[in-house]
Structure formats: structure tokens, C-alpha cells
Amino acid sequence: MSRLDILTFVRLRGIMAALVVAMAAIIAAEPAMAATPAEQFVSTNVQRGLSILNNHSISDTQRRAEFRDFLTSLTDIRRIALFTLGAARRTASPADVDAFVNAFREYAVAVYESRLNQYAGQSLRVTGSSDVGPGDTVVTTVLVDPNGKSNGQEPIEVDFRVVQDNGHFVVIDASIVGVWLGQEEREQFTSFLQQNNGNVPALTQHLQQLAAQLRAGGH
């Protein structure tokens, strides 16, 4: 690694803050370019997200509420939560799994809401898509920073994994410069569970605490 790259990984988290941006701000600069339905889905929804973030005619509280509804409608949070639970989902009781899914939803929303204030006009441009399998597509986008902060940095690629569910598209994972967030969460949760005798309620409780702390952070 070059010296400047020694800590490059840490930059990822900052870039991850851009997930909010990613989910919210893909501006389909040119919607006509979106050739496939999955690309069109991403373009359209990011425009929706951007319009919420840039709507200054409503209060901050209202904007957050709208953005939360937008995020939860765009993603299949239960599916993501079950993925992040890894092998433990097969051994945990249905009640424990449901409690985990609810805690995960609160945690995920709290994480993204805590980063909303970092939004600074960035947008995303859809650049293409590739099929992972039937009804399972990765849509690629590039972060566009109007403040010119991309100078001296590599172009930042943000990808969305989009699946068709009962005829509707939903986002099930997102990656920033090649790092898939769902996979990262799963590795953390697996590690936590292995250190806590596979105790799913303990993980649920931990997520609830983190969400409460983030909310109390007063963002």
C-alpha cells in the first residue's frame, strides 16, 4: 500500500455517510440514459430522495420523517436484517428473529438519520447495471460532488443491489467503493454473536441501545 493509502479504509466510513446521499440523492441527471427498468427504478427513487432532502419549505422534523418513510419504502429491511443475522436466523426462535428485525430497522434508520446533516448537495449519476441472477441486478452509479471535493480523490462508485419482489423493485444492499454494507453488518453481527454464545436477544438489545444513543446524540 502506498503511504497515503495506509488508512484509506477509514475514508470508507466517511464515504458511507454518503449512503444517505446515495439512497437519497442519486440524481438521475439524465433519466433518458437509464436503459433498464432497474436503472430507471434507482434513478427515479434517488430523485425522490433528493427532492425530500432539498425541500426547505418543511420543518427539519418533517423532512426527517419523510426521509424515513422513503427509506423504508425503498428497501426490504426484513430481508436485509435476516441476511445480516447470518446462520443464527436458522436456530433462533421466530419471536427472537422478529424482535431482531424490529431492532435492526430502528438501528438502521437511526444510523442514517444521524448522518443526514452531512448531506451537502452531492448527487449520483447512474452509469449502468449488471445482472447477478434472474430478477437480481446491481445498478452502478458515480458520486457527483458539486463542491469539487472530488479533486485529488478517485471517483466514488456507489452500487445498489436491486431485486424484484412480487413485481416491485426493492433495494437489498448498497456498496460504496466496493464495500457492501449488508456484508459488513453481517460480519459485525456474526462476530458479536460468536462472542455472546449465539445469543440473538443480546444482539437485539445491543442494537436497541445503539439506536437510543444515536437518537440521544441530538442530530
Partner 1 sequence: MRKSWAALTIALGLVVAGCATTTDTNSQVQTDPDDPLEGWNRQIFAMNQQFDHVLLKPTAEAYVAVVPEFARDGVHNFLTNLNTPVVFTNDLLQGEVNLAGQSVGRFGLNSTIGLGGLIDVATPAGLPYHSSDFGQTLGVWGVGDDPYLVVPLLGPTNPRDLTGYVADTFMQPLNYVGIRDYTYWALGEGAAGILDTRARNIDTLNQLEQTSVDPYASTRSLYRQYRRAHIQHGKTNLKNLPPM
Q: Which residues bind partner 1 (CB under 8 A)?
A: 1-17, 79-80, 83, 111, 114-115, 118, 130-132, 138, 140, 150-155, 157, 159, 161, 163, 172-173, 175, 177-180, 182-185, 187-192, 194-195, 203, 206-207, 210, 213-214, 217
The residue among 10 and 32 lying less far from partner 1, judged by its C-beta, is 10
The residue among 48 and 68 lying less far from partner 1, judged by its C-beta, is 68
Closest approach of Cβ 105 to partner 1, in Å?
15
Q: Are 25 and 46 in contact (CB under 8 A)?
A: yes
Closest approach of Cβ 76 to partner 1, in Å?
9
Cβ neighbourhood burial of 129 (10 Å; 0-12, 13-18, 19+): buried
Closest approach of Cβ 181 to partner 1, in Å?
10
The residue among 105 and 161 lying less far from partner 1, judged by its C-beta, is 161
Closest approach of Cβ 158 to partner 1, in Å?
11
